[in-house]
Amino acid sequence: MTTTRFAPSPTGYIHVGNLRTALMNYLIARKAGGSFILRIDDTDPERSKEEYVDAIKQDLEWLGLTWDRIERQSDRLDRYVAAADELRSIGRFYEAFETPTELDLKRKKQLNMGKPPVYDRAALALSEDEKSALRAERGDGVWRFKLDHERIEWKDGVLGDISIDASSVSDPVLIRGDGQFLYTLASVVDDTEMGVSHVVRGSDHVTNTATQIQIIKALGGTVPEFAHHSLLTGPQGEALSKRLGTLALRDLREAGVQPMALLSLMARLGSSDPVEVRNEMAELIDGFDINRFGAAPTKFDVEDLYPLTARYLQSLSLEDVKPHIDALGVPADKQEAFWALTKENITTLKDLAGWWELCCEGAEPLIAEEDAEFIAEAMALLPEGPYDETSWKSWTTAVKEATGRKGKGLFMPLRKAVTGRERGPDMSALLALMSVVKARG
Ligand code: GLU
C-alpha cells in the first residue's frame, strides 16, 4: 500500500515551500488510493510550540489536504530508545565527546589540507576508561551512527540515479549530549514502523537520505522510494529562504488567495505540465506525476497567485460564494445580479466589498478637468433613482443628444463620474444596482 507523510517541525508557520512538500506527498497518496500521514516532528521541546501544531493543521484544512492519521514524535520516544539500543547492540553506534569548538578546529584543518570536512571518528579509538573520564568531565557524549564506507545508491523520483560515497559524509549524530533524539533517527524509525512507502522532500535532504538509507537497513527496515524536489527561488532566481517567512500560508489566505489557485500552481510549478486553474482536487490528483518534475530550482512569484485566484473566482456560481455576499448584506433579490457583474472585476473576494459600497453609497466621482463642464451637463440630465436596467441607456442617449458626444468620449467620462473608477462591469447592470450617484457635477 502507498503511504506518504508530511513531516513539519512545529517551529513556525508553514509557507509555500513546505506546501510543495505536503502537496506532493498528499497527491501521491490520493492518486494511489493510499494513506497520507501528518507527522509532527517535535523532538525538540524548546523550539516546538503547540500553537504551531494548531496552525499547521488549520493551514492544511484550509487547503483541503486532509490526513488519514496524525502522529507526533514526542509520543514515540520509547521507539527511538529501542532503535538506539538496537544500533548499539549491532556495533553501529558510538559515543563521541568533541566539543563544537574542537569539531570546528578539525574541520578547518581538513579544509586547509584540501580534504573534505568529514568527522575523523577519533572517538572510535577511545578506551572505556577514557570515555568514563570524558563523561565525568564533559557530561554525556553525542551518539553517532557508524556509516559503512561504501557507495549509497538510489533511484530518485526527481533527480534520477544518485550515488553518494559514504566516506564523504560524517557519521551522523542521532542523539545529542542532552539525550534529545534527532530527526535523522526519529524519521527513520517512524517511516519504517508506519510503513511509509514514498518520501518526497526538498533537495536539501539528499545527504540525509543517504545516511538514512544505511540506518534503515541497519535496523532491518525497507527503504522507501525517495524523491527530492528542487527548492523554490524568487522570480529572479534569488534564494527564497529569507523571504519564506513572508510567504506563510496564513498570510496568503489573509490576502485573499484562493486554495484552489494556490494548489493548482504548486501542484504543477517546476514540472513539464502547464499550470491551469483547476476547480477540483480530483483533477490535480489525476494529472499528478512526480517524475515530470525537474531538478533545476523552481522560480516562484507570489504575484502569480492573484490572476489565478481571479480566474478561479470567475468560474464560481453565486451558490459557491453566497456566504461572502450574505456577509456584505446584499439583499437576496440582488445577489444574482451583483455576483454576475462583479465576478469578472475582482482579484480576490475582498474586492467585493468595494463594489457593494459603490452600489450603496456611490463613489467620489473621477472627473478630468477637460470633462468638468460636460459632466455637469450630463449630471443635470440624470434622473433621481431608483435606477433599473434601462436607466443607463436612456441617460446616455439624452446626454448624447444634448452634448453631441459619442463613443468612448461619451461613455468613459460618465463611467468615471458615476463609479469613480476607470474600469468595471457593464454600466447598465451596475447602475441598476446603485441606489445613489454622488455629486452631480
Ligand atoms: N521535519 C523534517 C523537516 O521539516 C522532515 C523532513 C522529511 O520529510 O523527512 O525538514
Q: Is 201 in the pocket of ligand 1 (CB under 6 A)?
A: yes
Alpha-carbon distance of 365 to 331, in angstroms, equals 25
78 three-class SS: helix
CA of 41 from ligand 1 middle (Å) equals: 7
Residue 128 lies in a domain: no
Mutate to test the pocket of ligand 1, among 26, 187, 196, 209 (most ligand atoms within 8 A of CB): 187
Tens of pLDDT, residue by residue over 213-249, are 999 999 999 999 999 999 999 999 888 877 776 789 9
Q: Give the E-state strand segments of 166-266 in sequence order.
A: 173-175, 198-202, 225-229, 232-233
CA of 8 from ligand 1 middle (Å) equals: 6
In this structure, are residues 92 and 145 in contact, taking their beta carbons and an 8 Å threshold?
yes
- Whether the model pTM is above 0.85: yes
- Does residue 439 have a pLDDT over 70? no
Residue 179 lies in a domain: no
Length of the chain: 441
332 three-class SS: helix
66 three-class SS: coil
Residue 299 lies in a domain: no
- Structural domain total, the chain: 1
Provide the pairing of β-strand 142-145 with 160-165.
Answer: unpaired
Residue 367 lies in a domain: yes
Q: Is 56 in the pocket of ligand 1 (CB under 6 A)?
A: no
Whose Cα sits closest to atom 4 in ligand 1? 8
Residue 206 lies in a domain: no
Residue 19 lies in a domain: no
Q: Which of 20, 46, 207 is nearest to 116 (CA)?
A: 207
Tens of pLDDT, residue by residue over 352-394, are 999 999 999 999 999 999 999 999 999 999 988 789 999 999 9
**Residue 96, amino acid:** A
Residue 416 lies in a domain: yes
% of residues, the chain, pLDDT over 70: 99
Tens of pLDDT, residue by residue over 33-61, are 999 999 999 999 999 999 999 999 999 99
CA of 387 from ligand 1 middle (Å) equals: 60
97 three-class SS: coil
Tens of pLDDT, residue by residue over 273-325, are 999 999 999 999 999 999 999 999 999 999 999 999 999 999 999 999 999 99
CA of 7 from ligand 1 middle (Å) equals: 5
- Which pLDDT band, with edges at 50, 70 and 90, does 441 fall under? very low
Q: Which atom, in ligand 1's list, is nearest to the CA of 6?
A: 8
Whose Cα sits closest to atom 10 in ligand 1? 8
Q: Is 48 in the pocket of ligand 1 (CB under 6 A)?
A: no
Helix (H) or strand (E) holding 301: none
Residue 403 lies in a domain: yes
Domain that holds residue 394: 362-433
